[in-house]
A and B are shown apart, each in its own frame.
Chain A
Amino acid sequence: MEYKNAQYKKNDLGQSTIIEVTIGDKTSHVPVHVGNTDYDEIMKQVKAGTLTIKDAD
Chain B
Amino acid sequence: MSRTTIKLSARDYNRAISPDKLNAQAQRTNKNIIINGGMQVAQRSTSTVTVGDSSNEGYSTVDRFGLQFNASAGGACEMSQSTDTPDGFANSVKIKCSTADSAHTGTESIYLDQRIEAQNLQPLGYGTSGAKTMTISWYMKTVNYTDPISLAFETRDGTSEYYVKSYTPTTSWARYTCTVPASTSATFANDNGRGLDVKFVIAGSSSGTNAAASDSTAWSTTRADYRNDIGNFVVSTSNEIYITGVQLEIGDKATDFEHESFSETLEKCHRYYTKSWTYGSAVTTTGGIITASNVGSVHRSFGNVFWPTEMRVAPTVTWYSGETGTSNKWRNNSDGADITAASAMAAIGTKGYGFVLSAGISAITDSLHGHYEASAEL
Which A residues are closer than 8 A to B by beta carbons? Answer: 1-2, 9, 11-12, 17-18, 20, 23-24, 26-31, 33, 35-39
Write out, one digit per residue, whether chain B residues 349-378 have a CB within 8 A of any chain A CB (1) or not (0): 100000010000000000000000001111
Q: Residue on A with the closest CB to B319?
A: A29
Give the contacting residue for B313; candidates A1, A29, A35; CB below 8 A. Answer: A35
User: How far does the Cβ of A50 sit from chain B's closest Cβ, in whole Å?
Assistant: 14
Summed over the interface, the residue pairs from A and B with CB atoms below 8 Å come to a total of 66
A38-B312 Cα distance, complex, nearest whole Å: 13
Q: Given contacts A2-B54, A27-B327, A27-B328, is CB(A9)–CB(B345) below 8 Å?
A: yes
Q: Is the CB of A26 within 8 A of B313?
A: no
Q: Could you say which residues of chain B place their CB within 8 Å of the CB of A9? A: 342-343, 345
Give the contacting residue for A36; candidates B55, B314, B347; CB below 8 A. Answer: B314
Q: Does B119 sit within 8 A of A, measured CB to CB?
A: no
**Tally of B interface residues using CB under 8 Å:** 31
A30-B344 Cα distance, complex, nearest whole Å: 13
23 CB contacts below 8 A, A to B, read A9-B343, A11-B347, A11-B356, A17-B345, A17-B348, A20-B328, A23-B316, A24-B55, A24-B56, A26-B328, A27-B327, A28-B318, A29-B319, A29-B341, A29-B348, A31-B314, A33-B314, A35-B192, A35-B312, A35-B313, A36-B314, A36-B376, A38-B375
Q: Could you say which residues of chain B place their CB within 8 Å of the CB of A33? A: 313-314, 348
Q: Is the CB of B318 within 8 A of A17?
A: no
User: How far does the Cβ of A53 sit from chain B's closest Cβ, in whole Å?
Assistant: 15
Q: Residue on B with the closest CB to A11?
A: B346
Q: Does B231 sit within 8 A of A, measured CB to CB?
A: no
Q: Is the CB of A35 within 8 A of B316?
A: no
Q: Could you say which residues of chain A place their CB within 8 Å of the CB of B54? A: 1-2, 24
Q: Is the CB of B345 within 8 A of A29?
A: yes
A38-B375 Cα distance, complex, nearest whole Å: 9
Q: Does B317 sit within 8 A of A, measured CB to CB?
A: yes
Q: Does B197 sit within 8 A of A, measured CB to CB?
A: no
Among B327, B348, B356, max chain A CB count under 10 A is at B348
